[in-house]
Amino acid sequence: MKEKISALMDGDLALEDAEYLMTALKTNGEAAKSWDAYHLIGDVMRGSNVLTPGMTSRVMQEIAKQPVVIAPKARLLRNTTNLWSMAASVAAIFFVSLVIMHQQTQEAKNAPIEIAQNVPSEYLLAHQSMSPSNTAYFIQSASFIQDK
Amino acid sequence: MLNRMLLIRGLFCIITLFASNAFAGQDDPWLMLQKASQAARELSYKGVFVYQSGNASKSVQLTHMNYGQGEYARMVVLDGQPREVLSQGSDVAIYSPKNEKIMIEKKRGQNMFPALLPSNISALKSSYQAKNSGTERIGGRDAFVINLSPRDQMRYGYKFWLDKEYGLLLKTMTVSDHGDGLEQIAFSQLTLMDDQSMDWFKPKFDPSKSYEMDQDGPAKATDSDMDWDVAQLPTGYRKVDQVKQPLQGKSGLMTQMIFSDGLASISVFIEPIVKGVRPKVGHAVVGATHFYGLVADNHQIMVVGEVPENAVMQFANTVNFKDKK
């Protein structure tokens, strides 16, 4: 049976010939577990991080069984202090940059646009439409207006 | 001896004055421009003219008729987006296809080529100097050339080619202070009409398409709408119109004043600065049109005109906000 499951997974067994196997997988707990286990082995061999659902719950159970260490060792304490100060500086940098970024976006929102790079064609049309002598408006000749 | 020399010089001056007066009727460039202004409105003609500004250029077919019952004209833009303009007297309708519809924009008449010159030519004399500069051939017709040079830096110069026979404006060019042509309109072909049929006076668009009136557009503004003015208008300029329109999607009004010296025109736009909208500042130029934007008194000021950079800057900098009561 297990050999058949393995063959099916590797594609060595045609799906048409494996109808009874599929039924077994659905009903038989033993066959289903093998299916899960083989897939897990395959995943690990391929270096994939995808773990089967059964595996996950077992790992969580194992972790729960471990005793919780409340007092860290002295040597570790020194490291943690360093870590804390590092964390504090990282947080400070993050905070400062956040403030700067916020200011910049605020400024960008209100910063004037140089019209040399961005000709305000909406004003041009309004001007041409109203000025007493203007053939251009009737022809709509300005090429950049057509792009709008 | 010296006295006699002065006397001879004086006599010579008087003789030249007489001579120039005798020819004034034919050669006075101002009179020729006045005639061109009338001819463009009173004659019946058809032809094709080409408009060039910067890199853009378009051909336009023009038919103009006036047999004493008022002016009728039709302009068909031949290049790019189809567009037609029909005008009767001072009523103008612009037809342009938009998606599956034909949009119709109705508006007040403007001076269109070749009727670009104002009816009252003498109003230009305070801003420009006119000079005859020979003859040239334009669109198969002989033309007198007249140079209009600006008296200050608040406007461009213009060059006009006038038909020798009919006086009609055949070509116009806007000239920078360096003498470069910035924009020009010229007939490539022109004939006078003697046919009184009005068959041509209708738009030639697909009749199966639906027509829609374009409702957008500014409304006339009263003096109370304007909480600003331009403190010192340069010589020759006067305010010709003022309009207002609501800011798109926001509260507040955009007001616009239009100034003209008879040929050059400048628009000044003012709107309150709305939070989240970036004001537009600085200088830009497209063809003969200059733009100048700045922020003052929490308002966006934008000046646009077919005038030199100096002029748009001066208008923008002399905007004066009235005290709010």
**Rounded mean pLDDT of A42-66?**
70
Strands (E), B139-264: 141-150, 157-163, 169-175, 181-192, 210-213, 219-220, 228-230, 238-246, 253-260
What are B51's strand-pairing partners?
B58, B185
Nearest residue to B107 via CA among A128, A69, A110: A128
How many other CB atoms are found less than 10 A from the CB of residue B29?
A: 20
The DSSP annotation for B34-88 comes to HHHHHHHHHS-EEEEEEEEETTEEEEEEEEEE-SSS--EEEEEE-SSS-EEEEEE
Which chain B residues contact residue A126 at CB under 8 A?
Answer: 218, 256, 267, 269, 304
pLDDT at position B301 over 90: yes
CA B238 – CA B222 distance, rounded (Å)? 17
CA B311 – CA B292 distance, rounded (Å)? 9
Model pLDDT for residues B143-180, shown as the tens digit of each residue: 999 999 999 999 999 999 999 999 999 999 999 989 99
User: What is the tally of helices (H) and strands (E) in chain A?
Assistant: 8, 1
Q: Which of A115, A126, A132 sits opposite B265 (nearest CB)?
A: A132
Domains of chain A from N-terminus onward: 2-65 (1.10.10.880), 118-148 (no CATH)
pLDDT, position A73? 60
Residues 6+ apart with CB under 8 A from A76: none
Question: Is pLDDT larger for residue A31 or for residue B319?
Answer: B319
- Tracing tokens 């061999």 back to the chain, one arrives at A45
Contact yes or no for A127 and B267 at CB 8 A: yes
Residue spans per domain, chain B:
28-213, 219-321
CB contact B97 to A (< 8 Å): no
Model pLDDT for residues B19-46, shown as the tens digit of each residue: 444 444 568 999 999 999 999 999 999 9
Residue of B85, B171, B289, B315 best to disrupt the A interface, most CBs of A under 10 A: B289
Shortest Cα distance, chain B CAs vs residue A97, angstroms: 23
Question: Nearest 10 degrees: CA dihedral of A62, A65, A67, A68?
Answer: 80
Contact yes or no for A135 and B291 at CB 8 A: no
- Report helix, strand or coil for B94: strand
| pLDDT band for position B125 (cuts 50, 70, 90) | very high
The token pair at B129 is 């100097």
Model pLDDT for residues B106-124, shown as the tens digit of each residue: 887 788 899 999 989 999 9
Question: Is pLDDT larger for residue B13 or for residue B311?
Answer: B311
Residues 6+ apart with CB under 8 A from B182: B53, B156, B173, B174, B175, B176, B287, B288
| pLDDT band for position A48 (cuts 50, 70, 90) | low
| pLDDT band for position A146 (cuts 50, 70, 90) | very low
CATH number belonging to domain B219-321:
3.30.200.100
**The domain defined by B28-213 carries CATH number 2.50.20.10:** yes
Closest residue on chain A to B289 (Cα): A124
CA B269 – CA A84 distance, rounded (Å)? 58
Shortest Cα distance, chain A CAs vs residue B37, angstroms: 12
Global confidence as pTM: 0.70
User: What is the tally of helices (H) and strands (E) in chain B?
Assistant: 3, 21
Question: What are phi and psi for residue B194, nearest 5 degrees?
Answer: -125, 5
How many other CB atoms are found less than 10 A from the CB of residue B188?
A: 14
CB contact B276 to A (< 8 Å): yes
- Report helix, strand or coil for A2: helix
Q: What is the ipTM of this complex?
A: 0.84
CA B112 – CA B85 distance, rounded (Å)? 11
The token pair at B28 is 């006075």
CA A117 – CA B10 distance, rounded (Å)? 60
Whether B199 and B89 have beta carbons less than 8 Å apart is answered as: no
CA A99 – CA A61 distance, rounded (Å)? 44
CA B117 – CA B34 distance, rounded (Å)? 8
Model pLDDT for residues B191-235, shown as the tens digit of each residue: 999 888 888 998 888 777 888 887 767 888 888 888 899 988 999
Contact yes or no for B258 and A132 at CB 8 A: yes
CB contact B298 to A (< 8 Å): no
Shortest Cα distance, chain A CAs vs residue B96, angstroms: 10
Which chain A residues contact residue B282 at CB under 8 A?
Answer: 112, 114-116
